Amino acid sequence: MKQINHIPPLQKAVSDAREKGKTIGLVPTMGALHKGHISLINTAEKNGDFIVVSIFVNPTQFNNPDDLARYPRDLVSDLRMLVGHGVEIVFVPAVEEMYPEADTRQFDLSPLDQVMEGKFRPGHFNGVAQIVSRLFEAVQPDRAYFGQKDFQQLAVIRKLVDQLNLDIEIIGCPIIREADGLAMSSRNQLLTPEQRAAAPHIHAVLQKARALKNSRSPRELQAMVKEAINNHPLMQLEYFEIVDDQELKPIVSWDNSANKVGCIAVHLSEIRLIDNIYFH
Choosing from 6, 37, 201, 267, the catalytic residue is 37
Q: Report the candidate in 155, 58, 139 with the shortest Cα–Cα distance to residue 98.
A: 58
Q: Report the candidate in 33, 26, 39 with the shortest Cα–Cα distance to residue 176.
A: 39
Residue 6: active-site member: no
Instruction: Output the CA angle 226-151-113, nearest 5 degrees.
Output: 85
CB 264, CB 276: distance < 8 Å:
yes
SS3 of residue 89 by DSSP: strand
CB 112, CB 155: distance < 8 Å:
yes
CB 161, CB 33: distance < 8 Å:
no
d(Cα 272, Cα 168) in Å, to the nearest integer?
Answer: 31
d(Cα 125, Cα 121) in Å, to the nearest integer?
Answer: 8
CB 17, CB 24: distance < 8 Å:
yes
Say which residues have a Cβ less than 8 Å from residue 114's Cβ, sequence separation at least 6. none
Active site residues: 37
